[in-house]
C-alpha cells in the first residue's frame, strides 16, 4: 500500500513565558527568577499512515494532538525530525481558520477554498453544495466577524469537506454546533472514510472514534503512548485518565461530548 503520512522522530518545542511586560521581566531577572522555560509539545513522535486508513488521534488536553495536526497540515514545521505527506490535504484545524472577519460568508467561501487549494472554477462548481451544507441562510452575505462560533464551524467545515483531497484532517469539528449539524458532519466524514481518502480525526468521544476509525493513536505528554486497535486504544486512554483523576467517571463519553485540545 502507498504511505500517506510518515512522521519520523518529530520534536516541536515551545517557549513558555512567565512574565509579559518588560518591567515584570526586569524585576524577575533582578531577583534571579526564571522568565521563560522551554517545553516539548511533541517529543520523538513517529508513525506511518497508509492511504485510506482512518486514524483516531486521542489524548488528554495538552498532549500535543492539535500541534501534530498542524505539523501534518504544514502550518508548522518540526524543530527536528520530519513530516512527509502525499497528496492534497484539507480539513478543519480550528474553527474559522482562514476566514477574514470583514468579508462576507460568500466571499470567505472563495477565500478559504483557495487557501485549501481549490481553484476558482472548482469553488464555483461546488458553491451551492457548500452553502446548502452550511445552512446559514441569509447570514451568507453578512461579515463573518458577526458570526457565532457555531456558524463559523458550519461554514468552515462545509468548505473543507468539499475539497477534493487525499488526506482529511478533523480537529474539534464537533466542538460547537447543534446536534443535527454534528450528525450531518459525522455522516459526511463517513463518506470521506469510505471514499479511500486518509482520515485523521481528533476526538475525545469514544463512540464516534469507534464508528469512524480503524486505528487509534494516543498521545501522552507529547509522546506516542499507544498505536493500534481502536477498542484497546480507548481502554488505554481511559485507564490513563482514570489514574490522574480522583473521581473517575464510569460512563463512557458519547459522540456528542466533543472536547477541545489545548496544544
Which CATH architecture describes the domain 51-243? 3-Layer(aba) Sandwich (3.40)
**Please, are residues 48 and 6 in contact by the beta-carbon 8 Å criterion?**
yes
The pLDDT of residue 22: 64
Chunked into runs of 10 residues, the chain (263 residues) has average pLDDT values of: 93 76 67 70 95 93 90 92 93 72 93 90 95 91 88 86 90 65 84 90 87 93 95 86 50 41 40
The pLDDT of residue 173: 58
Distance CA 197, CA 231 (A): 22
Rounded (10°) CA dihedral 104, 107, 113, 117 = -130
Nearest to 192 by CA among 53, 86, 25, 61: 53
- Residue-range domain boundaries for the chain: 51-243
The pLDDT of residue 253: 42
Q: For residue 25, what is its C-alpha cell?
A: 521581566
The pLDDT of residue 250: 41
DSSP 168: E
The pLDDT of residue 29: 65
Give the distance from CA 177 to its chain's centroid.
Answer: 16
The pLDDT of residue 236: 92
Q: State residue 95 phi and psi, 5-degree precision.
A: -60, 120
The pLDDT of residue 48: 96
pTM: 0.78
Q: How many CA atoms lie within 13 A of 107 on its CB side?
A: 11
Distance CA 27, CA 33 (A): 9
Amino acid at each position: 500500500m502507498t504511505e500517506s503520512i510518515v512522521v519520523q522522530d518529530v520534536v516541536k518545542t515551545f517557549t513558555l513565558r512567565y512574565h509579559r511586560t518588560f518591567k515584570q521581566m526586569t524585576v524577575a531577572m533582578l531577583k534571579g527568577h526564571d522568565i521563560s522555560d522551554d517545553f516539548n509539545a511533541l517529543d520523538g513522535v513517529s508513525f506511518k499512515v497508509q492511504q485510506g486508513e482512518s486514524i483516531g488521534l486521542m489524548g488528554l488536553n495538552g498532549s500535543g494532538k492539535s500541534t501534530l495536526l498542524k505539523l501534518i497540515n504544514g502550518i508548522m514545521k518540526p524543530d527536528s525530525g520530519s513530516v512527509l505527506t502525499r497528496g492534497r490535504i484539507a480539513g478543519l484545524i480550528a474553527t474559522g481558520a482562514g476566514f477574514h472577519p470583514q468579508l462576507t460568508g460568500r466571499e470567505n467561501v472563495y477565500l478559504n477554498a483557495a487557501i485549501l487549494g481549490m481553484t476558482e472554477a472548482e469553488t464555483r462548481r461546488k458553491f451551492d453544495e457548500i452553502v446548502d451544507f452550511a445552512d446559514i441562510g441569509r447570514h451568507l452575505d453578512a461579515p463573518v466577524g458577526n458570526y457565532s462560533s457555531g456558524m463559523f464551524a458550519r461554514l468552515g467545515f462545509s468548505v473543507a469537506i468539499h475539497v477534493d483531497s487525499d488526506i482529511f484532517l478533523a480537529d474539534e469539528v464537533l466542538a460547537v454546533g447543534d446536534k443535527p449539524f454534528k450528525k450531518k458532519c459525522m455522516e459526511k466524514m463517513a463518506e470521506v472514510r469510505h471514499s479511500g481518502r486518509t482520515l485523521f480525526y481528533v476526538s475525545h468521544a469514544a463512540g464516534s472514534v469507534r464508528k469512524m476509525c480503524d486505528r487509534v493513536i494516543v498521545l501522552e505528554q507529547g509522546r506516542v503512548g499507544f498505536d493500534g486497535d481502536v477498542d484497546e486504544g480507548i481502554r488505554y486512554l481511559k485507564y490513563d485518565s482514570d489514574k490522574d483523576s480522583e473521581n473517575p467517571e464510569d460512563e463512557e463519553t458519547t459522540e456528542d461530548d466533543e472536547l477541545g485540545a489545548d496544544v
